[in-house]
């Protein structure tokens, strides 16, 4: 899409990113700057997914979750406009400024857990919690991109056997065909916190197959974490959901380590 006039009367200012699902632009209307998502619609499934994303965003009111400003799901060029969050994503922030430790890690954990609690209270599973989907803004971390979010009672919009998510951050039970639930999002959040503290995924190294294999076996590399935290991180990252302690225990331990 060329810069200039976009759908909904928005003026496209710059491109923020793109992927298989479409593109996101920095755009403006009536003086307000937004992140304008214009999906790639190739059929009814893509449109249903966009409607799910808009529904999810409209249900959550939390300062650490990006707010939806406007959506047009029926026009010739469907779009979702969310508030524009000024800042780097967590992966960029760690690369630029170093890893999180002490109080900074505790505050990051607190605010993201607060956001995710409200997401789940709205009966939504995010399904793609990863460093790139956390923007470090002036007001704190903000969870973004609900593109594959779903209500746990809803039907999947992907082909049978196709798992959506990001290697290193997708809960291991989903690799074996398990059903998404709040516990899978909490596992992903723990993996993100480990990334923030280590500067790498705890399952990184080798190709995608090796990363997923380590997840399924619970073989997280947590070398570099404080001795007081590593065992609890390992328990929360267990491949067995029933063996994972509440993430509140981990966050309490992080605060105790400040």
Is 128 assigned a catalytic role?
A: yes
The catalytic position among 128, 145, 185, 252 is 128
Q: Are residues 57 and 130 in the same domain?
A: no
104-138, pLDDT tens digit by residue?
999 999 999 999 999 999 999 999 999 999 999 99
Q: Are residues 79 and 96 in the same domain?
A: no
Q: Residue 164, exposed/middle/buried by CB under 10 A (0-12, 13-18, 19+)?
A: middle
Per-residue confidence (pLDDT) for residue 3, from 0 to 100:
64
CATH number of the domain that residue 242 is part of: 1.10.510.10
Q: Which two tokens stand for residue 70?
A: 């406007």
- Poorest-pLDDT segment among 124-138, 145-159, 236-250: 145-159
Full domain range(s) for residue 189 = 88-256
Which of 67, 83, 99 finishes a domain? 83
CATH number of the domain that residue 31 is part of: 3.30.200.20
Which of 52, 83, 114 finishes a domain? 83
50's CB contacts (< 8 A; 6+ apart) are: 39, 41, 73, 78, 80
Q: Contact at 8 Å (CB) between 135 and 141?
A: yes
88's CB contacts (< 8 A; 6+ apart) are: 96, 135, 136
Q: Are residues 18 and 146 in the same domain?
A: no
Q: Are residues 148 and 192 in the same domain?
A: yes
Q: Contact at 8 Å (CB) between 92 and 131?
A: no
Task: Please report which confidence band the pLDDT of residue 165 belongs to, taking 50, 70 and 90 as the band edges.
Answer: confident
Which of 83, 113, 139 finishes a domain? 83
Tally of structural domains, the chain: 2
Q: Are residues 112 and 63 in the same domain?
A: no
Q: Are residues 24 and 77 in the same domain?
A: yes
Exposure string over 204-215, b if 16+ CB within 10 A, otherwise e: eeeeeeebbebb
Q: Are residues 64 and 102 in the same domain?
A: no
Q: Are residues 112 and 130 in the same domain?
A: yes
Q: Contact at 8 Å (CB) between 90 and 195?
A: yes
Q: Does 197 have pLDDT greater than 90? A: yes
In the chain, which ranges are E strands?
Answer: 4-5, 11-19, 22-29, 32-39, 68-72, 79-83, 88-89, 134-137, 140-143
Q: Are residues 22 and 147 in the same domain?
A: no
Q: Are residues 50 and 125 in the same domain?
A: no
Q: Are residues 107 and 40 in the same domain?
A: no
């Amino acid at each position: 899409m060329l810069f200039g006039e976009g759908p909904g009367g928005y003026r496209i200012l710059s491109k923020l990113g793109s992927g298989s699902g479409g593109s996101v632009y920095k755009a403006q209307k009536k003086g307000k700057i937004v992140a304008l998502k214009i999906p790639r619609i190739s059929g009814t499934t893509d449109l249903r997914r966009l409607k799910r994303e808009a529904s999810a965003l409209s249900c959550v009111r939390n300062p650490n979750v990006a707010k939806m400003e406007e959506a047009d799901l029926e026009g010739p060029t469907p779009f979702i406009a969310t508030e524009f969050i000024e800042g780097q994503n967590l992966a960029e922030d760690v690369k630029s400024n170093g890893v999180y430790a002490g109080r900074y890690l505790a505050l990051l954990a607190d605010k993201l857990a607060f956001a995710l609690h409200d997401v789940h209270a709205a009966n939504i599973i995010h399904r793609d919690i990863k460093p790139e989907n956390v923007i470090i803004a002036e007001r704190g971390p903000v969870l973004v991109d609900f593109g594959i979010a779903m209500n746990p009672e809803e039907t999947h919009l992907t082909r049978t056997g196709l798992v959506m998510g990001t290697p290193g951050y997708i809960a291991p039970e989903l690799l074996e065909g398990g059903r998404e639930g709040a516990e899978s999002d909490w596992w992903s959040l723990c993996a993100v916190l480990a990334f923030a503290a280590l500067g790498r995924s705890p399952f990184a190294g080798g190709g995608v197959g090796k990363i997923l294999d380590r997840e399924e076996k619970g073989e997280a590399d947590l070398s570099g974490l404080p001795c007081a935290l590593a065992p609890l991180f390992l328990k929360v990252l267990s491949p067995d959901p029933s063996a994972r302690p509440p993430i509140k225990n981990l966050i309490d331990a992080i605060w105790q380590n400040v």
